[in-house]
Amino acid sequence: MRIADLDTPALLIDVDVMERNLCRVAAYAREHGLRLRPHTKTHKIPALGRRQVELGAAGLTVAKVGEAEVMAASGTPDLLVAYPVLGPRKLARLMALPPEMRITVALDSLEAGRELSQAAVAAKRKVGVLAEIDVGLGRVGVPPEQGAALAQALAGLPGLEFEGIAFYPGHVKLMDEAGARAIAGLSEVLAPVLDAVRRAGLDPKVVSGGSTPALFQSHLAAGMNEIRPGTYIFNDRNTVVSRACAWDDCAATVLCTVVSTAVAGQMVVDGGSKTFSSDRLSASPEVSFGHVIEAPGAVFTRMNEEHGYIDVRNAGRKFAVGDTVRIVPNHVCTAMNLHEQVYSVRGDDVVSVWKVEGRGKLQ
């Protein structure tokens, strides 16, 4: 099948670009002695998780138990749930994951630690635990000065094995000089935490952080020994705007058809918020929703559910009803979540159809 034979809107993955992204990061992690535990919330496809493990990832990361259930099919020997798991229903499902798959949970409270511990004891299963600290995002994680106390409390809980420290440097969005300094500055945040953990007699074997924007600066954060990038497999407009990659490194595009040019200076495509998600750019206040490959000067200004409004006054070319365009989404992880299946492509050919098995796994 050719791309021209596909109905639209359709999310396309350029397999060669994806493979290059995967290999580049695997090589970077190897070169700097960093464990790679990629976050699979971006692709949500077990076969791609398997490929990440084949290329040297020590394990995979998910946010939800439902994603863990899906990703078990990747055959990964190790899975990190980088999100507190609360409540008996979720914990029972977590404990029912294949026993040969090592499970670790990152969490930031004793409440979550106790629930996990009770579930692990009841299931007669050893579960790894990472103490989550906040290094600037202000989302989850205890303040760094409380990291050692949390680690000590978790290490004392039956059924759990203390593995180390987790954090997410999502507050560093722009990889300019200040961004690189901020990542290097994590060294000073981590050192006292790791010292205090060691003074408490614990071994923080895993110090897990790492996002896609800051990926190639990860080696500057002394003490961090594991990275969990997710978006890097495909990249997206956010990654380009954060200066962490070029347009050529974006593997995912949404193929759309122009359905109207009735309003002067505008075209409407058949993909809106149900196709792209409404996520704005994370590192820029600009309100726009994607990058049109065929016309970089066009601006994707607005969306309704099924309509994408594209200002073509500076497009430098004309579009007609029935034309197709390929658009790089702002945030590929949320876009993937909206598609039942995506198409892997090479040149003008469709190579295969991948079911997005982890989409919609909210629980």
Tell me how far, at minimum, the Cβ of 6 lies from ligand PLP, in Å: 27
Site string (109-138) toward ligand PLP, x via CB under 6 A: ------------------------------
Nearest 5°: the CA angle 42, 46, 50 is 100
Q: Which of 83, 82, 85, 110 is nearest to 95 (CA)?
A: 85
Residue 227 or residue 269: which is nearer to ligand PLP going by CB? 227
Tell me how far, at minimum, the Cβ of 177 lies from ligand PLP, in Å: 20
Q: Which of 192, 196, 205 is nearest to 135 (CA)?
A: 192
Residue 137 or residue 153: which is nearer to ligand PLP going by CB? 137
Residue 82 or residue 281: which is nearer to ligand PLP going by CB? 82
Tell me how far, at minimum, the Cβ of 212 lies from ligand PLP, in Å: 3
d(CA 214, CA 220): 10
d(CA 49, CA 97): 16
Q: How far apart are the first and last CA of the chain?
A: 36
Residue 42 or residue 261: which is nearer to ligand PLP going by CB? 42
In the structure encoding, which two tokens stand for residue 50, read together?
Answer: 């398997």
Residue 39 or residue 237: which is nearer to ligand PLP going by CB? 39
Tell me how far, at minimum, the Cβ of 277 lies from ligand PLP, in Å: 14
Does residue number 277 form part of the binding site for ligand PLP (CB under 6 A)? no
Tell me how far, at minimum, the Cβ of 39 lies from ligand PLP, in Å: 4
Distant-in-sequence, close-in-space partners of 8: CB < 8 Å, separation ≥ 6? 255, 256, 257, 270, 271, 324
Burial status of residue 294 (CB atoms within 10 A of its CB: 0-12, 13-18, 19 or more): middle
Tell me how far, at minimum, the Cβ of 31 lies from ligand PLP, in Å: 19
**Number of residues engaging ligand PLP in binding (CB under 6 A):** 11
Does residue number 174 form part of the binding site for ligand PLP (CB under 6 A)? no
Site string (196-235) toward ligand PLP, x via CB under 6 A: ---------------xxx--------------xxxxx---
Helix, strand, coil share of the chain (percent; to 5): 35, 25, 40
* Residue owning tokens 């759309």: 256
Residues 58-87 that bind ligand PLP (CB under 6 A): 82
Residue 11 or residue 298: which is nearer to ligand PLP going by CB? 11
Distant-in-sequence, close-in-space partners of 242: CB < 8 Å, separation ≥ 6? 173, 174, 175, 179, 212, 213, 282, 283
d(CA 237, CA 284): 11
Tell me how far, at minimum, the Cβ of 263 lies from ligand PLP, in Å: 35
Among 162, 168, 216, 300, binds ligand PLP (CB under 6 A): 168
Does residue number 39 form part of the binding site for ligand PLP (CB under 6 A)? yes
Residue 214 or residue 345: which is nearer to ligand PLP going by CB? 214
Residue 11 or residue 82: which is nearer to ligand PLP going by CB? 82
d(CA 241, CA 325): 21
Please give the residue ranges that form the binding site for ligand PLP (CB under 6 A): 39, 82, 168, 211-213, 228-232
